């Protein structure tokens, strides 16, 4: 379900609008393997553009999120320090990177960013607005 947002990309907006309760949307760095059959909205332009955090912030404003899932390995990356304040008051689950890749293979969709930082991936479990 959507909340107020500012997304211009029609394919991304359609993916988010189509996400029902408990559907998984992954925001991924440019290197995350994407399973065949999973819808991909590829926003990558150049290395780092758009960044993981830019994409996360805009998607998070738009999609009602019930919980978030990260690879444990993300905690060891400098990016995590910038992400951590954005996760406060959120229901966050940590799993191994291998488990994360398996989860991503079952996602409703993946949003590929231009991010080139290792483990810059998050799974958003869609919630409801009521």
For the chain, state the CA radius of gyration.
13
Select which of 17, 21, 75, 99 is catalytic.
Answer: 21
Contact 97, 77 (CB under 8 A): no
Q: Please state, in angstroms and rounded to a whole number, the distance separating the CA atoms of residues 61 and 16.
A: 11
Verify whether residue 21 is a known catalytic residue: yes
Angle in degrees, CA 52, 1, 68, rounded to 5: 45
3-state secondary structure of 40: strand
Catalytic residue IDs: 21
């Amino acid at each position: 379900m959507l909340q107020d947002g500012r997304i211009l990309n029609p394919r991304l907006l359609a993916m988010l609008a189509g996400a029902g309760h408990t559907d998984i949307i992954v925001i991924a760095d440019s290197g995350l393997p994407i399973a065949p059959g999973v819808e991909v909205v590829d926003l990558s332009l150049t290395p780092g553009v758009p960044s993981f955090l830019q994409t996360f912030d805009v998607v998070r404003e738009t999609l009602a999120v019930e919980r978030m899932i990260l690879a444990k390995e993300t905690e060891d990356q400098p990016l995590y320090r910038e992400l951590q304040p954005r996760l406060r008051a959120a229901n966050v689950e940590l799993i191994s990177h291998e488990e994360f890749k398996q989860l991503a293979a079952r996602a409703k969709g993946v949003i590929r960013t231009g991010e080139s930082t290792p483990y810059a991936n998050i799974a958003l479990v869609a919630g409801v607005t009521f």
